[in-house]
C-alpha cells in the first residue's frame, strides 16, 4: 500500500487534486450544440464583419463635400439610383449625385456619407438637403466589428449566446470544444434507500446521489449513477468496477477508517492510489482522493471519496470536485466568484480547521451582508439549501466580529437579481 497523506490543508488538498487532473480531449460539435461548452481552439476570423461599408440608416448616400453650404442654402441633388440591403455595391456615385439607400445596403463607390431620410425632402427624382453631412456619417465600415486575421477567441472561452452569434457570423458551423467529464456516482450504506423507497425502521434517502448528480449537471458534466452499494466488499467492488470508464468517480460511501468502510479496500484492490485522507476543513474532514495508473500511465478515473453527511458531501464537492471538473472542461478560472461581505453577526470557532459557513446574502445599497442560514451541522441540508454563499472562516481565526468584512464564495448570484430594470422613464 502506498503512502497516503493525512490531515492536509485545504490548499494542499486542492493542489494535489489539480496536479493530477487532466484537461479532457476535444470534440467537434455543431454550433447549436456548443452552447455552454468551452472552446478547445483559438478562433481567428477569416472574414470581415461587416463585409462591406454599409448604411446604418434609411436615407441618401452622397459626397459630403456637396453639402458644404447646405446649412446656408438648401442643396438639391438628383437621385440617380437605389441600393437596398442584399444588393452588390456596383454602381459608382458621381459627385453632384445622390442615391436612395436603405439600412444594411452597401455604400456605392465614391459616396462618403449617408443623410437620414428624416432630414431630407424628396420631390420626384430630386432630394433637398438643409444640413451639412460629416464624412463617414451613418456609414458602418467594413471590418469595424471583426477584420480578417483578428483573433476573436482564445481556447478556454465559454460559449454563451453572444459567442454563438459571433461564431455564426464568422461562418463557424462546427467547433472544437472540450469534452464533458463523465462522473460515476456511487452511494453506499445499508441505511440508504431511493426517494420512493421505504423509510421505515430508520432508513434514509440517499440524497447525496441527487445533490452530486445535480452539482455535476450544473457544471456541464454528465453524471452516471452507479446506485446504492450495500455495505459488503463484493457489492462495493462490483459497482466501482462498473464506473471505471468514467473520468471521475465520486463515492459518498464513507472512505474512512470505520469497520464497515470497504470502499478504500475495493479501490486499492482495483489499482487506485490514494493520495490523501482527511482535510482540515469543516464540514467535510473525511475527504479522500485517489487516482488510477502511474504518473506516466494509463488513465483511470480520478476518485473522490466524499464524506457521507449530506452537507459534507456537497461542501467537499464544491471545494474540490468542482474545480477539478472545471479544469477538465477547459475552464481557465476554476473557482466561484468571491465577494467581500459584511458579517451580520459574530461567529466563533476553535482554531485549527478552515470552516465554510452557510450564509444568506443580501444587498444593502453598495454592500453585501452575510448572515448565517442557521444550524451549521454537517447533516443539516436545509441550511445549505438556504445559502447563497459560503463564508470562508480561516483555519487560524477563532472569531469574526459583527460588521467585519468577510470573504464569501458566491454559490448563487440570484441575490443580485433586481426588482427594477436598471433604467428609468424619460
The residues of the shown chain that bind ligand AMP, judged by CB under 6 A, are: 187, 189, 191-192, 204, 206-209, 252-254, 258, 307-310
CB of 191 to ligand AMP, least distance (A): 5
Tell me how far apart the alpha carbons of residues 285 and 318 are, in angstroms, rounded to a whole number. Answer: 14
Residue count at the site for Mg ion (CB under 5 A)?
A: 2
Rounded to a whole number of angstroms, the minimum distance from the CB of residue 229 to ligand AMP is: 10
Minimum separation from the CB atom of position 276 to ligand AMP (A)? 17
Smallest distance, ligand AMP to C-beta of residue 242, A: 17
- Determine, following the binding rule CB under 5 A, whether residue 223 of this chain makes contact with Mg ion: no
CB of 244 to ligand AMP, least distance (A): 20
Nearer to ligand AMP, 311 or 408 (CB): 311
Identify what 373 binds: Mg ion, ligand AMP, none; CB under 5 to 8 Å per kind. Answer: none
Q: Looking up cell 461548452, which residue turns up?
A: 37
Please report how close the Cβ of residue 172 comes to ligand AMP at its closest, in angstroms.
43
User: Measured from the CB atom, is 107 or 279 closer to ligand AMP?
Assistant: 279
| Residue of 59, 106, 108, 189 interacting with Mg ion (CB under 5 A) | 189
HEC string of the chain? CCCCEEEECHHHHHHHHHHCCCCCCEEEEEHHHHCCCEECCCEECCCCECCCCEECCCEEEECHHHHCCCCCCCEEEEEEEEECCCCCCCCCCCCCCEEEECCCCECCCCCCEEEEHHHEEEECCEEEECCCCCCCCCEECCCCCECCCCEEECCCCECCHHHHHHHHHCCCCEEEEECCCEEEEEEECCCEECCCCCCHHHCEECHHHHHHHHHHHHCCCEEEEEEEECCCHHHHHHHHHHCCCCCEEEECCCCCCCCCCCHHHHHHHCCEEEEEEEECEECCCCCEEEEECCCCCCCCCEEEECCCCHHHHHHHHHHHHHHHHHHHCCCCCCCCCEEEEEECCCEECCCCCEEEEEEEEEEECCEEEEEECCCCCCCCHHHHHCCCEEEEECCCCCEECCCCEEEEEECCHHHHCCCCCCCCCC
Task: Output the residue with the shortest Cβ distance to ligand AMP.
Answer: 308
Give whichever of 189 and 283 is closer to Mg ion, judged by the CB atom.
189
The item of Mg ion, ligand AMP, none sharing an interface with residue 187, based on CB under 5 to 8 Å by kind, is: ligand AMP
The least distance separating ligand AMP from the CB of residue 264, rounded to whole angstroms, comes to 12
CB of 353 to Mg ion, least distance (A): 22
Stretch that binds Mg ion, among 38-46, 97-105, 251-259, 374-382 (CB under 5 A): 251-259
Nearer to ligand AMP, 93 or 183 (CB): 183
Among Mg ion, ligand AMP, none, what binds residue 252 when CB lies within 5 to 8 Å by partner kind? ligand AMP
Q: Closest CB to Mg ion among 143 and 189?
A: 189
| Beta bridge partner(s), residue 405 | 342
Task: Pick between residue 314 and residue 406 the one whose CB is nearest to ligand AMP.
Answer: 314
Question: Closer to ligand AMP at the Cβ: 163 or 187?
Answer: 187
Q: Does 254 bind Mg ion (CB under 5 A)?
A: yes
Binding positions for Mg ion, rule: CB under 5 A: 189, 254
Amino acid at each position: 500500500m502506498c503512502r497516503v497523506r493525512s490531515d492536509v490543508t485545504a490548499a494542499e488538498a486542492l493542489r494535489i487534486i489539480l496536479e493530477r487532473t487532466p484537461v479532457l480531449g476535444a470534440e467537434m460539435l455543431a454550433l447549436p450544440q456548443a452552447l455552454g461548452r468551452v472552446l478547445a481552439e483559438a478562433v481567428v476570423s477569416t472574414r470581415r464583419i461587416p463585409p462591406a461599408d454599409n448604411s446604418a440608416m434609411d436615407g441618401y448616400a452622397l459626397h459630403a463635400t456637396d453639402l458644404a453650404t447646405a446649412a446656408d442654402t438648401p442643396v438639391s441633388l438628383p437621385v440617380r439610383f437605389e441600393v437596398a440591403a442584399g444588393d452588390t455595391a456596383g454602381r459608382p456615385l458621381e459627385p453632384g449625385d445622390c442615391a436612395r439607400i436603405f439600412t444594411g445596403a452597401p455604400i456605392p463607390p465614391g459616396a462618403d456619407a449617408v443623410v437620414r431620410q428624416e432630414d431630407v425632402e424628396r420631390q420626384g427624382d430630386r432630394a433637398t438637403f438643409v444640413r451639412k453631412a460629416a464624412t463617414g456619417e451613418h456609414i458602418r465600415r467594413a471590418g469595424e466589428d471583426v477584420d480578417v486575421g483578428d483573433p476573436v477567441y482564445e481556447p478556454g472561452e465559454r460559449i454563451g449566446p453572444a459567442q454563438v452569434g459571433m461564431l455564426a457570423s464568422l461562418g463557424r458551423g462546427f467547433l472544437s470544444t472540450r469534452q464533458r467529464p463523465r462522473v460515476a456516482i456511487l452511494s453506499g450504506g445499508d441505511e440508504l434507500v431511493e426517494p420512493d423507497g421505504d423509510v421505515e425502521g430508520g432508513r434514509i434517502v440517499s440524497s447525496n446521489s441527487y445533490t452530486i448528480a445535480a452539482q455535476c449537471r450544473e457544471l456541464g458534466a454528465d453524471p452516471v449513477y452507479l446506485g446504492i452499494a450495500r455495505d459488503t466488499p463484493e457489492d462495493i467492488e462490483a459497482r466501482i468496477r462498473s464506473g471505471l470508464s468514467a473520468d471521475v468517480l465520486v463515492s459518498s460511501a464513507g472512505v474512512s477508517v470505520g469497520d464497515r468502510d470497504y470502499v478504500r479496500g475495493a479501490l486499492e484492490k482495483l489499482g487506485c492510489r490514494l493520495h490523501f485522507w482527511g482535510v482540515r476543513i469543516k464540514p467535510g474532514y473525511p475527504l479522500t482522493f485517489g487516482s488510477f495508473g502511474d504518473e506516466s500511465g494509463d488513465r483511470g478515473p480520478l476518485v473522490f471519496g466524499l464524506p457521507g453527511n449530506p452537507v459534507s458531501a456537497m461542501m467537499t464537492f464544491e471545494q474540490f470536485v468542482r474545480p477539478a471538473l472545471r479544469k477538465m472542461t477547459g475552464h481557465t478560472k476554476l473557482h466561484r466568484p468571491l465577494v467581500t461581505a459584511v458579517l451580520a453577526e459574530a461567529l466563533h470557532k476553535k482554531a485549527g480547521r478552515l470552516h465554510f459557513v452557510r450564509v444568506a446574502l443580501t444587498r444593502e445599497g453598495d454592500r453585501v451582508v452575510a448572515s448565517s442560514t442557521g444550524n451549521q451541522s454537517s447533516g443539516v441540508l436545509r441550511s445549505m439549501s438556504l445559502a447563497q454563499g459560503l463564508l470562508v472562516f480561516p483555519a487560524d481565526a477563532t472569531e469574526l466580529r459583527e460588521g467585519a468584512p468577510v470573504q464569501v464564495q458566491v454559490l448563487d448570484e440570484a441575490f443580485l437579481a433586481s426588482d427594477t430594470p436598471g433604467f428609468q422613464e424619460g
